[in-house]
């Protein structure tokens, strides 16, 4: 029996894995973690590499080349720009903002009590509405979440779209992260309702 080169396919898988691990390590050195979506369907909306800082997703990249470019080129990364939405940062516990345990003697927040959050006003199809969200471990986490909402809203090129995004933001349940900017951007680009859950690019393409 002649030898069959049955390892060639495995070889490419190993090469890919090595490339991926190199990107993972580069991300870690920059303070990010990379999580690969388990879906193997390249048309699924979640397909690809998700980059997180702590528990927050900062980017979603569709292929390994895109991931490598993102890691190599800090300057071109989006998401760091100014947002138009105004927000304020607060601390709170079930007894309210006046609870004496919330603050230390020096007036700084005691993060072992209560949680941090943000308050803002967002456009919605029913008119401007107040949005308040608490449950963050630090004021900077709360601020990041507020900025994330602002970045989502800024995806809307017009008021009607901003209202749609506002509806989407308002519908996100407590303790659930806001959808990644890239996901919403992709859905807006495709002309889908940004709030519609679970529609893959594949499904859109066959419509």
Q: Which residues bind Zn ion (CB under 5 A)?
A: 93, 95, 99, 101
Nearer to Zn ion, 83 or 93 (CB): 93
Nearer to Zn ion, 36 or 101 (CB): 101
Segment (H or E) for 49: strand 49-53
When computed from its CA atoms, the radius of gyration of the chain, rounded to whole angstroms, is 21
- Taking the CA atoms of 134, 140, 141 and 142 in sequence, report the sign of the dihedral they define: positive
Q: How far is the CB of 108 from Zn ion (least distance, A)?
A: 15
Contact yes or no for 149/120 (Cβ under 8 A): yes
Contact yes or no for 182/60 (Cβ under 8 A): yes
Q: How far is the CB of 95 from Zn ion (least distance, A)?
A: 4
Nearer to Zn ion, 11 or 95 (CB): 95
Nearer to Zn ion, 142 or 149 (CB): 142
Residues 6+ apart with CB under 8 A from 207: none
Nearer to Zn ion, 93 or 192 (CB): 93
Place of tokens 């879906």: 39
Angstrom distances, CA of residue 185 to CA of 27, 79, 126, 202? 23, 12, 23, 16
Q: How far is the CB of 162 from Zn ion (least distance, A)?
A: 36
Q: How far is the CB of 97 from Zn ion (least distance, A)?
A: 9
Q: How far is the CB of 143 from Zn ion (least distance, A)?
A: 21
């Amino acid at each position: 029996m002649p030898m069959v080169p049955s390892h060639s396919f495995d070889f490419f898988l190993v090469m890919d894995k090595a490339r991926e691990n190199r990107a993972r390590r580069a991300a870690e050195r920059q303070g990010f973690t990379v999580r690969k979506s388990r879906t193997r369907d390249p048309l699924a909306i979640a397909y690809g590499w998700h980059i997180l800082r702590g528990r927050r997703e900062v980017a979603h990249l569709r292929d390994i080349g895109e991931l490598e470019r993102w890691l190599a080129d800090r300057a071109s990364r989006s998401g760091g720009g100014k947002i138009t939405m105004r927000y304020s940062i607060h601390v709170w516990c079930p007894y309210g903002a006046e609870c004496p345990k919330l603050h230390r003697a020096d007036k700084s927040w005691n993060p072992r009590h209560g949680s941090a959050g943000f308050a803002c006003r967002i456009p919605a199809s029913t008119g401007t509405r107040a949005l308040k969200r608490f449950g963050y471990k630090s004021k900077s986490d709360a601020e990041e979440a507020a900025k994330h909402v602002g970045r989502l809203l800024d995806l809307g090129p017009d008021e009607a779209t901003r209202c749609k995004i506002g509806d989407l933001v308002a519908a996100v349940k407590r303790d659930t992260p806001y959808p990644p900017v890239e996901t919403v951007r992709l859905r807006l680009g495709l002309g889908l309702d940004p709030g519609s859950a679970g529609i893959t690019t594949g499904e859109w393409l066959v419509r």
